[in-house]
Amino acid sequence: MITQNDQLKATNLVEEPNFKIILIENDYELRHRIQEKFQKEGFQTEAASTGKEATDKICGEENEILLINNHLPDIEGIQLISKIIKQYKKSRSDNCLFRYER
């Protein structure tokens, strides 16, 4: 059963997001549209078009959510996650969503 307190917590997450979305996408138009949508909804976002640019923006904080295109110009998304895990010496895969293309 969902309590009133649970509903209040869920509402606060939506009204005052306490996390940062890092969008890692090499397609400029798609990256721009997604980032704009998240910002209109009140989410703090940063965007990167390459793995190198992404690693410069990632701080290793638990409140970061990474949205990754698996096929970036300089690295595959899976390899990028491995690099991040090694860099920050902790698992980050639970904070990641991948977009695969063929």
For 42, the token pair is 């009140």
Cβ–Cβ < 8 Å for 53, 26 = no
Per the domain annotation, does 32 fall within a domain?
yes
- Confidence grade of residue 82 (pLDDT, cut at 50, 70, 90): confident
Domain region containing 27? 17-49+59-70
Per the domain annotation, does 100 fall within a domain?
no
Per the domain annotation, does 97 fall within a domain?
no
Per the domain annotation, does 38 fall within a domain?
yes
Please give the single-letter amino acid code of residue 78: I
Torsion sign across C-alpha atoms 27, 56, 23, 44: negative
Residue-wise pLDDT for 28-73, tens only, equals 999 999 999 999 988 899 999 999 999 998 887 777 888 999 889 9
What's this model's pTM, rounded to 2 decimal places? 0.73
Torsion sign across C-alpha atoms 53, 102, 97, 41: positive
- Residue 10 pLDDT: 47
What is d(CA 76, CA 27) in angstroms, rounded to the nearest whole number?
15
Per the domain annotation, does 40 fall within a domain?
yes
Per the domain annotation, does 101 fall within a domain?
no
Per the domain annotation, does 2 fall within a domain?
no
Task: Report the domain count for the chain.
Answer: 1
Alpha-helical regions (H) of the chain: 4-15, 28-40, 51-57, 77-88
Per the domain annotation, does 88 fall within a domain?
no
